[in-house]
Structure 1
């Protein structure tokens, strides 16, 4: 527990963090990677280059300061970020290093304004928050290892087959190299894939949603090939162009909190933009396998029919699920406020996944239409703390 004096000091730094937070986190990452370049094997280089990770961390530090007197308010965010950390292989020994360089960055940016009292208060607060993350993540690693076929950190998988789903999306069916079964997971969760790309100094990790219903033999991820010149496209281009059937990939255990609510009677609305369809396919296939009688509306947005993945599979599922309404929307007729008002049952659980701008429009429109935050579930592709922007 933090003393009232520490809480008051942390609270007093909120305006400073609001103004200088991103500058502090930018300096933090620069100094951290100078001293510990090996950590570049964990962090997403593209998010670093674009400043997304710096902004996400600044948002997280600011939220911690705002809620320092009631840290239970940020527990859902702690759990969500912990899922990301476990998927990346973050370990307890990483936390003291991060704390050291975060305090160093605060001092470097704020100068004399970062008094010994402020630095001491933030050291104490960081210790409490770090302990919370370490505890949550330790439990997750333990649970992953306990599952049948489970493991912690990374494990070798073989690419059993590759299937092209659209002009830009290819599915990879992944089988454990040791021939063990794959563990159960919740529909909507993701795995991390870690690769060593020829010519690149550090390993790269990307997280991909599992795109089919859980089974004992394989995972399926469905990867969009990004532009060759996009910093975030290196891994996807490597997977599409260089990884072949029979090759090995390092894979983490399933993680994530964007999962299908187990409510037998409540209607469901799925709204997917582009490659955001991947976790929703896992959810839909699971409902079909369970012969669910729930009313389901599925709205899929894509640039053109050639860019729309899984349309034939969804139509096939629709034949077996008469309670499924499926609509596709392209550039010439995009999902708009009228469509959402007409198609979304206001009593339904709504699952949204896709590009940031698409999600922000859909979610804000749903809220404006009177659908509660408790009904809307979403997955945002990017650093976990970026989720705050869509809420």
Structure 2
């Protein structure tokens, strides 16, 4: 099988799959291949935090042109996967010089399927792009075609808890990956000082408590397959829930907008995590760290792409607030506005390339010490 993910998250996803029990895990570009049975496919969809699709390849072959693709698709025994009374949809991705239009590849694949059914049974299955009974994925790289069943359906970042969003919500799987990349796994207090709809806080709580990532999701595509085993899935879900653990630290989200606070609280409630997360109406620039314990911060400030801001003043205020009010903290933030980082006034200890949607971004880390950094190093050496 193949799990798709974001650029830069391949190693994280590979480790997730190994921890779940996958075999023969191999890292690719924006994907990780692995081996597992039907039950593991259910588990991967339920538990993987950084996967956006779990695909099950059913055929691989070389194709030289569109007509060759049509012929090869017609050779497949489609009755094994699709009934004429069922609906289907096709997603295609292409790279290389031979095939350059993904929509046309999807169209030719659709033609091959319906023409074969019409020829053999004088009736054809229908296409339903929104809620099909079977989702197919066609991937062509140069002249090599891989045809897969999409076991997930809608992207796995649709967790099911976020019913209320703001103008620029962060993708749930991206948020989980950033939090894992920051090294946080529930060992300290956590703060998202610009929490928006609460996604960072919710993903942080699920990581800390080991709650399956897609526990609140309404459905997966494999539930419409002919071999859907509801008893097996419920057994796997129950086993995953036995691994849920308690969390003794605090997870907090701030936002200065009352509407954002209301939405975040609603999403936290939907995720059944109200006992672990506190959302407060506060302007981060007017706050200070609570208590003396170490604090982990991960946040997604506005970039100026969809939320207008005075960039220089805004990012300078981030740096001033961290310096003046948050000693003993590690602050991680993602931005696609590289110029903005110059105005923070702090030197990041790490910069990690990633993507927020199509935007090339950087996840940066600022280490805020009690006293000076020089004194910190002296204490460590002593």
What TM-score, normalized by structure 1, do the two folds share? Answer: 0.34
Larger Rg: 2
Pick 1 or 2: higher relative contact order, CA cutoff 8 A, min separation 6. 1
What TM-score, normalized by structure 2, do the two folds share? Answer: 0.34
| Structure (1/2) with the larger helix percentage | 1
